[in-house]
Structure 1
Amino acid sequence: MKRLAIDVQPGEYAVARLDPGAPVPGLDAPDGLVSVTRTPAETSVICPAGLAPEGARVESGWRLLTVRGPLAFTLTGIIAALASELASAGVGLFTLSTFDTDHVLVKEGDLARAVQALRAAGHEVAE
């Protein structure tokens, strides 16, 4: 796997679940990531913890790691490699991808271990 440059983003993130068909909340995080995914079974929101939608089932305490991009769509195995490296260190993760790059969320209590594992695998991690 190619050496990746990964940035640890500031602040706490939340993963929230709304009922299917629930209105998408107006989330404004000019300096943070917000992702809304809707399926027939649920609406999921990833956002800074302070913006978690009211009435949602919320899992907070996440930290966001972003692979510096943009990444070409032809690249393969990025999430697989990161997931494997973190799994070997006993770190659970939540992933998402955008047009330009990939993101990994790890629990706050696992952040130091995640950074250590990624560095040991040869990646550059900026905190």
Structure 2
Amino acid sequence: MRRLVIDVVAGDYAVTRFDPGTAVSPELFTTAGLVAVTSTPDELSIVAPASATPGGGRTEPGWRLLTVRGPLEFTLTGIMASIAGSLAAAGVSLFALSTYDTDHVLVHDADLDRAVAALREAGHDVHTS
């Protein structure tokens, strides 16, 4: 696996679950930072900065965002496996998501230091703000 450059993004994030079909306010997409909305037949999930978390759902706050510097080619393999394996070996749970250009993981704030240490030990270049 090649060495990844990973940025720890400033600020707290939250993950919120809504019932399927819940309407998402268009204003959410004007929020600075990563906003991800995923809809399945069983649920609607939103990842957003804690300050922009919509109400009315079941929210788990206290996440920190780590972003792999991209863009990453679709032909690259093992990126998420490398990150997930390193964090799993350190006992750090994660919430993973990808965009067209790159990969992101969220870890609980209480686990951030262990996550950074584990990723650095695995040979990745982790930048904190």
The answer to whether TM tops 0.5 is yes
Distance 2:25 2:125 in 1: 35
Partner of 1:100: 101
Percent of counterpart pairs with the same letter?
63
The Cα shift of 1:81 comes to: 0.9
Q: What does 1:39-118 correspond to in 2, within 5 Å?
A: 39-118=40-119
Distance 1:92 1:35 in 2: 19
The Cα shift of 1:25 comes to: 2.6
Question: What TM-score, normalized to structure 1?
Answer: 0.97
Residues 1:13 and 2:50 are matched in the alignment: no
Distance 2:76 2:121 in 1: 22
Distance 1:22 1:29 in 2: 19
Q: Secondary structure at the match of 1:104?
A: strand
Question: What TM-score, normalized to structure 2?
Answer: 0.96
The Cα shift of 1:50 comes to: 1.1
Q: Secondary structure at the match of 2:59?
A: strand
Q: Which blocks of at least 5 consecutive residues in structure 1 are unaligned?
A: none
Q: Which blocks of at least 5 consecutive residues in structure 2 are unaligned?
A: none
Runs of 4+ with deviation above 6 angstroms: none
